[in-house]
Amino acid sequence: MIKTILITGASSGIGRQVATQAAQQGHQLILVARRLEKLTELAEYLFDEYHTASLVVKCDLTDHEQIERMVTKAIQRFKRIDVLINCAGFGSFKSYKKYSYEDYQQMFETNTLATMYVSQLIANHMEKMKNGHIIIVASVAGKIATSSSTLYSATKFALIGFANALRLELSKSNVAVTTINFGPVKTEFFEHDSDSKKYYNRIKWIALDVEDAARTIVNQFSDKHFIQREINLPSYFGYLSNLYQLFPKIGDFLASHLANFK
């Protein structure tokens, strides 16, 4: 079944790879990001390679009015949105002492508030259709916090809580909500600042391939796969987060020592 899929953060990283794999399956795409030139280049590539026509929408997701216009434009064009994939976001990994108020504001606006508002608007549309699937790319940092990730972890913990509550509200409308928590992924995500680059150099040996990460997302809206409530990759992070909740003191010790690569 051909579906209409809206992807935020489509210009790079996981979002771009999800768009590519979805185009291979013939789905209709709405590509959303700030960088219009990157989106246009991607849309042209997808058309040339897979004959997929995409709607490109430049949108600053920290501006709620731009979000509203983007959603309206997408619905007017395709009449329905079957799948929303929230990929937009960035990270910064440094001591809590180094963050300014503007840092807090910027990351929450991008990682958390934008995803919440886009999801709210699309959920309203899906409820009327009595069908749909919202996928929120969070992070294992939203399950297990480590040092030098105070701000990033906070934005992702909030997203997971939002998704869990939204899932309950939408359950009677045949609208699914899936949270996907990745560990480090091999993308330009870690190019944000020098601290993040140094962190990535220490953990790149455990980083996921972006193609595998994207395939996990695409499988969730494939007709042949069972829709999951939550996915943690690598899978052992899911088990670790459960142990962290059951044995918090031991969890703190492990997070401070074994899992502290910053």
Active site residues: 152
Phi, psi of 18 (to 5 degrees): -60, -45
Q: Specify whether the CB–CB gap between 89 and 134 falls below 8 A.
A: no
Neighbours of 253 (CB within 10 A): 12
Q: Specify whether the CB–CB gap between 82 and 3 falls below 8 A.
A: yes
Nearest to 45 by CA among 24, 64, 25: 24
**Dist CA 18 CA 85 (whole Å):** 9
User: Which amino acid would we find at residue 102?
Assistant: E
Nearest to 151 by CA among 99, 115, 110: 99
Written as one string, the DSSP assignment of 203-258 is: HGGGPBPHHHHHHHHHHHTSTTSPPPSEEEESTHHHHHHHHHHHSHHHHHHHHHTT
**Dist CA 176 CA 51 (whole Å):** 29
